Structure 1
């Protein structure tokens, strides 16, 4: 038995071309399987960081997932809003430690523009710490001042001190395209000055421009129905003389003094008499979102396992096809005292070596791809795979692949063990 390993290695080396192809097919399947697992784990981490910091998200009554996507991830369009007076009534609750009013609707070069208060930078976090860090500059203080996320600065080449104009309406253009959509005219008469650039967070904050609520009101003073009012133009320097108190919000992010009060406050908001509102727990809404996309994940895993099955079938086919050429080799082993269990052990060991080589190569491919694609994934999707490690689930899947590969090798091993000694020694006619 001590000679089985070098014997198996020497036998595999003699058939290295065919076994290399089998190894590559297993490596491809392992890389696909681990990539799906790692991408899902990174996405869950990214989403969890995005909802960290707030205890409740309040908005118009409707779909919790839609409210979460719009308020936290700035995706989709809001069909309803909540009144400013309702926000003021909610803010008076002594159980609430802080509240962040959120107003969305405008954009810049495909990136969403968010209206809020300077407390936004103090209470929001990245899942690791409370509060946002500035790579350069400071929070906005003046009326027409803006703070941009790290992705906005990187992809558009912006820095503090530059002037930009906002685009009316939520634009879904790719940020690489700077062509202005005719359906979304600009607020060209009221430019903003960039006063701060946020450090990367790996959350939707990275691709957001943040301005004050009053600024959003100011740029719409001479607008009605989504278009400039004919014959009316209010210059930027005169906008501050008007009442810029917001009339409506899209959502409110709430933090509590004690998290044990979260269900009590949620019930109070859901029963609010001023207008139909709802308060959602971000974590629960996230679980519902994952249930909605769970079928996609299961489909990808199913495809990965199908590719794995094809790779292992190729391994079995290669070993079985080689048995005809190895009949004399196996018969000689039997003649010098190798029993059936030695023959089975030899072929199973060969299959295990190929499977291990495929797993190792697949893991190397995943790690290399994770590091090479890390800047692109961090910029485009806000996910960082470069520092990810193999999770327990990934290790379990690798173990399952190894066990399946060894089990698949039993098929040709069992067939080889049944070959008679004379069948291998006698010449074939």
Structure 2
């Protein structure tokens, strides 16, 4: 009976109740959304690379090296000569290496120049190996293996030809049209930046730049795709390389030796340490966003309380009639609390629905632009705890209008002052 009465009372004031619910939906969506994005971003970054002991690049900060080599964010400060790479590769403690050459793109997706070791040794999300959904690994100079998102979003199939572009912009006017690549393989989804990458051989990277200099075609020199195949396509430089060691105990020794390498300035980093530094840098921003969201939520809850308080004067006759038919003052207290509960529950359900719809629409954008792969299910232990906290705060603040209704039930009569 009390639930029906509360529902009818809210329907009678549906205009103000709707605005209150809308305010709460926005604030709760922000709170749950930030919490979900925080967890998913951390999981996305952490699962991107697994089993790699060191990442080596030209001398720079470890965060910059981690971001461009693994997450395809930003650019390298310099390259590593092929001779240096081969010299370090022969280190007795190094079991395998994966060379990476960056700097080109295809319709906004980064091109990764590498070799077959990439598909054999690269691991993600707890030592999972890359798998082909279709086709084979590249074997020819002008072969390419696409990440799952590249193939899906651009509608590419095996055997189709694509043209790479110089630079990493969404639109490029410097394309290697004279040397197209053929799609020979498509990788299975990984939920990492691998899905957004176009993989080609190091020789392919060398071939398309053989008649280029400083980011532009060399005037008066034209080398066809067939002519390039007859030339020496040994890479002159790479951007970075991943390292796997024979023993984890040798990690710091090898890292120090690479950092002190005299041939050219290099930086060797531990992926886990770099990720920890990244989260430490972002923790202040994370806390600030959380504080702002909590303040927005409190503003919404206070607005709900204010709306209920403002409606108390309009409900004097309602309260008096309920008292006349035998309603106990405590009943009126719980009636208002039940209204608060219904408003909050409706707001929580709608906020979760809004958040899931927003994630569904924004998932591709976050993946393609920022390399973040966000799950569509925001329900987890922390989100349930936050929803419980929201409900508790709402009922706590709802005690103010509920107590006022209780007091008026004790003092007011059937007469209403106009």
- Equivalent residue of 2:47, what SS? helix
Check whether the contact 2:329–2:409 (CA below 8 A) recurs between aligned residues. Answer: no
SS in 2 for 1:424: coil
Residue in structure 2 matched with residue 151 of structure 1 by the alignment = 149
1:116–1:386 distance in 2 versus 1, CA, 3 Å:
closer
CA distance in 1, matches of 2:152, 2:410: 71
2:397 aligns to what?
Answer: 408
**In structure 1, which of residues 92, 95, 98 is the aligned counterpart of residue 96 of structure 2?**
98
Structure 2 residue corresponding to 1:358, chosen from 342, 347, 351: 347
Q: Equivalents in 1 of 2:104, 2:43: separation in Å?
A: 28
Q: CA deviation at 1:254?
A: 1.2
Distance 1:187 1:326 in 2: 75
Is contact 1:331-1:422 (8 Å) kept?
Answer: no
Counterpart among 305, 326, 338 of residue 349 in structure 1: 338
Deviations 1:353-410 (A, max 9, x none): 2112211221222234444655665566555555535122212211221111111112
CA distance in 2, matches of 1:322, 1:287: 51
Single out whichever of 61-70 and 262-271 deviates more from structure 2.
Answer: 262-271
Native 8 Å contact 1:53 1:130 kept in 2: no
Q: CA deviation at 1:102?
A: 1.0
Q: Which residue of 2 aligns with 1:216?
A: 205
Say which SS state the counterpart of residue 169 (structure 2) adopts: coil
Question: Matches of 2:281 and 2:374 in 1, distance apart?
Answer: 24
Query: C-alpha separation between the residues in 1 aligned to 2:64 and 2:373?
Result: 25
Could you say which residue in structure 1 is the equivalent of 2:67? 69
Structure 1 runs not aligned, ≥5 long: none
Q: TM (normalized to structure 1)?
A: 0.86
Correspondence 1:102-141 to 2 at 5 A: 102-127=100-125, 130-141=128-139
Judged with a 3 Å threshold, the aligned counterparts in structure 2 of structure 1 residues 238 and 421 are, in CA distance, closer, same or farther, namely closer
- Among candidates 186, 191, 194, match of residue 183 of structure 2: 194
Residue-by-residue CA offset, 1:195-225 (whole Å, 9 max, x unaligned): 1122222222122221111222223333333
Return 145-154 or 293-302, whichever deviates more: 293-302
Relative to the length of structure 2, the TM-score reads 0.88
SS of corresponding position for 1:113: strand
Residue 206 of structure 1 pairs with residue 204 of structure 2: no
1:172 to 148, 169, 174: 169
Ranges in structure 2 where 5+ consecutive residues have no aligned partner? none
- CA distance 1:428–1:64, shift in 2 (3 Å): same
2:235 to 246, 251, 275: 246
Q: Which has the higher mean CA deviation after the structures are superposed, 279-288 or 237-246?
A: 237-246
Distance 1:371 1:171 in 2: 27
Q: Which moved more, 1:71-80 or 1:416-425?
A: 416-425
Residue pair 1:165, 1:190 contacting (<8 A) in 2 also: yes
Asked if structure 2 preserves the Cα contact closer than 8 Å seen for 1:335 and 1:421, the reply is: no
The whole-number CA distance in structure 1 between the counterparts of 2:414 and 2:400 is 23
Alpha carbons of structure 1 residues 270 and 376: separation in structure 2 relative to 1, 3 Å: closer
CA displacement at 1:34 relative to structure 2: 1.4
Note if 1:22 corresponds to 2:16.
Answer: no
